[in-house]
């Protein structure tokens, strides 16, 4: 049986996590979840008001994602999930999940990502919070299983680079036939 893997597509808001994760999910036929689905309404309200989240706000959100990843592992499903995962401590919570948790850190400049964010409609994360995300961001450590991918190229090129650097071949990656449960169903 192939190893269960969870790809956490991470980075600051506006780095292209959702687009990249959707491309990866399509190529690998792995279930995909968006980190925003795990936020309690209080967190969404806080961010919508332009207030950065505290660690106390984040721990339940991160544990909910970790628990979903473990649930998918127990069902034998590899997954893809987006999550800012800006600090090592946050990634450590996700690494507690069963299965192999791997990170795809989407990296770009504050100027380029700010420009992307200003052109995006309907998202609760305001551009004004981007500097605080860059200040919080801690690079992947040697102890973390992951890759850093620059986002100054097309989203498909970003996904190609991530798969190549992770050593994942979409032609041989195992896709499970059983549908994953959504975070709301867990």
Q: What is the pLDDT of residues 117-130, one digit of tens each?
A: 665 555 555 566 67
Number of independent structural domains in the chain? 1
Res. 102: pLDDT tops 90 = yes
Domain that holds residue 121: 12-166
CATH of the domain at 118: 3.40.50.300
Q: Is 162 part of any domain? A: yes
> How many residues does the structure list for the chain?
186
Residue 103 phi/psi, 5° resolution? -110, 140
Give the predicted TM-score (pTM) of the model: 0.85
Q: Which of 124, 106, 112 is nearest to 12 (CA)?
A: 106
pLDDT the model gives residue 137: 93
Classify residue 182: in a domain, yes or no: no
- How confident is the model over 104-150, as pLDDT tens digits? 999 998 888 877 766 555 555 556 667 888 999 999 999 999 999 99
Domain annotation covers residue 183: no
User: Left if phi > 0, otherwise alpha if psi is -120 to 50, otherwise beta: which for 87?
Assistant: beta
Looking at the domain assignment, is residue 3 inside a domain? no
* Distance (Å, whole) CA 124 – CA 170: 33
Percent of the chain exceeding pLDDT 90 equals 63
C-alpha distances (whole Å) from 67 to each of 61, 64, 183 are 10, 5, 9
**What is the rounded average pLDDT for all residues in the chain?**
87
User: Is residue 73 in a domain?
Assistant: yes
Taking alpha carbons only, the member of 55, 21, 24 closest to residue 35 is: 21
Q: How many other C-beta atoms are found inside a 10 Å radius of the C-beta of residue 128?
A: 11
Compute the distance between CA of residue 17 and CA of residue 76 in angstroms, rounded to an integer: 24
> Does 178 map to a domain?
no
């Amino acid at each position: 049986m192939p190893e269960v893997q969870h790809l956490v597509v991470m980075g600051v808001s506006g780095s292209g996590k959702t687009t990249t994760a959707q491309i990866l999910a399509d190529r690998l036929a792995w279930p995909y979840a968006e980190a925003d689905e795990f936020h309690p309404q209080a967190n969404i309200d806080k961010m919508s008001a332009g207030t950065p989240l505290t660690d106390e706000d984040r721990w339940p959100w991160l544990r909910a994602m970790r628990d979903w990843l473990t649930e998918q592992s127990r069902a034998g499903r590899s997954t893809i999930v987006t999550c800012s995962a800006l600090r090592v401590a946050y990634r450590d919570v996700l690494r507690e999940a069963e299965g192999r948790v791997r990170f795809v850190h989407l990296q770009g400049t504050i100027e380029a990502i700010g420009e992307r964010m200003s052109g995006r409609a309907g998202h609760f994360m305001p551009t004004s919070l981007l500097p605080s995300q860059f200040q919080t961001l801690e690079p992947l450590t040697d102890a973390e299983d992951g890759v850093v991918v620059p986002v100054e190229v097309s989203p498909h090129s970003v996904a190609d680079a991530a798969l190549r650097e992770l050593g994942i071949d979409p032609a041989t990656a195992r896709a499970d036939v059983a549908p994953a449960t959504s975070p709301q169903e867990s």
